[in-house]
A = this chain, B = another copy of it.
Amino acid sequence: MTEQIRDVVDRYVKLVGSGPTEAIVELYAPEATVEDPVGAPVRHGHDAIREFYDILAPLDRETELRTDSVRVAGNEVAFQFTIITRVGGQRFTMSPIDYMEFDDSGKIVRMRAFWSQDDMAIEPE
């Protein structure tokens, strides 16, 4: 299970940086929940999750997993990754810590992303 979870984390971070949205949605179980950031309304199910990741789709973005941050414990994982978005001549850099819980088939059933606006760096390109 540990290797399977690591593999999903790898794919998740790559797909958040590249899409397509549908491939991200497929990493989730149909009844999964997403809370991103923690404290925001919880999105429930594939449709709500698709809507969330579709926001990223048109953005010029890249992601990188901090490979020395991936910590699997049973069917849960926490890890940190960086997402850089470029909009209007500015570069927005964020490094959330994501938490995920998995079902026995290796699908994500719960995701919670820890970050706040305070953690975002904004620089001119």
Contact = CB atoms under 8 A, between A and B. Distances in A.
A79 to B, nearest CB: 7
Contact of A71 (B72, B76, B116): B116
Contacts of A77: 114
Interface of A: 2, 37-39, 68-69, 71-74, 76-80, 95-97, 99, 114-116, 118-119
Nearest to A38: B73
A97 B72 CA distance: 10
A38 B114 contact: no
A77 B113 CA distance: 10
B74 A38 contact: yes
Contacts of A97: 69, 71, 78-80, 97
A80 B69 contact: yes
Nearest to A118: B2
Given A69-B69, A79-B97, 19 more contacts: A2-B116, A2-B118, A37-B73, A38-B74, A39-B73, A39-B74, A69-B80, A69-B95, A71-B95, A71-B115, A71-B119, A72-B114, A73-B114, A73-B115, A73-B116, A76-B114, A77-B114, A78-B99, A97-B97
